[in-house]
Structure 1
Amino acid sequence: MKVTFVRGTDPSFAEHLTKTNMAGYYQTRGIVWERHQFLCSWDEFDNYEVYNGQIRVGVVRLSYSEHTTYLRDLQLVSDVQGKGIGTQCLDIVRHHALKRKSQRLVLRVFRENPAIKLYESKGFTTRSEVNRLVEMELSLASNN
């Protein structure tokens, strides 16, 4: 199947998916979900629903600075995790960042999140780590 992004129009879907996927990490760290903060970020970020064929399977959220695209969220429903959809999403995000003429793509991930292996396989490297929250970067400068 082909993975595509469609402009996000359903913040409730994105919030539920993100909250569900992140619950274990948040519980471990004593982080309380802030619905108001999520809804404010919905208005500030570029939000995309991820489709595998005709089926909505996730959400991708992006923000930007002058030369950087920030991957704020890449959340997939559990049924499709580990099946290559995350890889396809990262390829789409990379292409999007290049179209915006970004020089780098940056994300943050909890150290114990198995997605780190995916990010590393796509060329992301660790920039910093604070309290087991890892900031990773993919340089795009040579690709512009």
Structure 2
Amino acid sequence: MTFQLRQATSENLTFSRNLTCQNMLRYYIQHDLLWQDEAFDIAWSGRENWLILRDDVKIGFFSLSRDARALYIRELQVAEAFRGQGAGSWTIDQVIEITRKERRPALRLTVFENNPAKNLYQRKGLQVQGKDECFLRMQLDLRTPVL
């Protein structure tokens, strides 16, 4: 079982939107938030998007953004049928490597506080930095210690 990444194109927008809605709608409902396709589409267009493939089958995607302080995972979605098979863990490893290669001081993400994915992020070294309403802000500090 081999995972690969491929840069997403506008042709992958519908797949990514539908997967995100399918995976996240229950959290939106639980936290009384409104899912909007248009908001997803606008955010998608301003991010770097990647498909996660297994044997050339699309099983998920992730979206990145950047500033001087960090690389940000804005979305990381794996189709339910492929969860628990290492795709999420492998993807986090790939993003950590991108963060290191770009010499960014940190990798950051936000996750619903009741989303079990937070456990994966913690196993990968991300630590909770704060809480906003129903979200946890998490970070992996990659700064080189000064000796």
Same fold (TM over 0.5): yes
Shift in Å at residue 32 of structure 1? 1.3
- 1:74-113 mapped onto 2 (5 Å cutoff): 74-113=76-115
Given that 1:106 and 1:137 are in contact with CA atoms closer than 8 Å, whether structure 2 keeps it comes out as yes
Taking the aligned partners of 2:69 and 2:129, their CA distance within structure 1 comes to: 16
How far does the alpha carbon of each residue in 1:10-67 deviate from its partner, in whole angstroms, 9 at most, with x for none?
A: 1000000000000100011121112221111111100011001211100110000013
Choose which of 62, 65, 71 in structure 1 pairs with 2:64. 62
Q: How high is the sequence identity, in percent, across the aligned residues?
A: 28
CA-based RMSD: 1.2
Structure 1 unpaired stretches of 5+: none
- d(CA) in 2 for partners of 1:111 and 1:29? 10
- Cα pair 1:70 1:105 within 8 Å, conserved: yes
**Structure 1 residue runs of 4 or more that deviate by more than 3 Å after TM superposition:** none
Distance 1:32 1:132, change over 3 A: closer
Partner of 1:4: 4
In the alignment, is the contact (CA less than 8 A) between 2:62 and 2:73 conserved in 1? yes
Alignment TM-score, normalising by the size of structure 1: 0.95
> 2-side partners of 1:3 and 1:102: how far apart?
25
Whether the 8 Å contact between 1:67 and 1:101 is mirrored in structure 2 is: no
* Equivalent pairs, count: 143
Asked if the contact 1:128/1:136 (under 8 Å) is kept, the reply is yes
Query: Using the alignment, how far apart are the partners of 1:67 and 1:23 within structure 2?
Result: 30
- Cross-structure match for 1:128: 130
1:132 Cα deviation after fit: 2.8
Structure 2 SS opposite 1:32: coil
Between the aligned partners of 2:144 and 2:42, the Cα distance in structure 1 is 34
Rounded Cα–Cα distance in structure 2 between residues aligned with 1:104 and 1:51: 26
Distance (Å, rounded) in 2 between the aligned partners of 1:82 and 1:124? 19
Matches for 1:112-123 after TM superposition, within 5 Å: 112-123=114-125
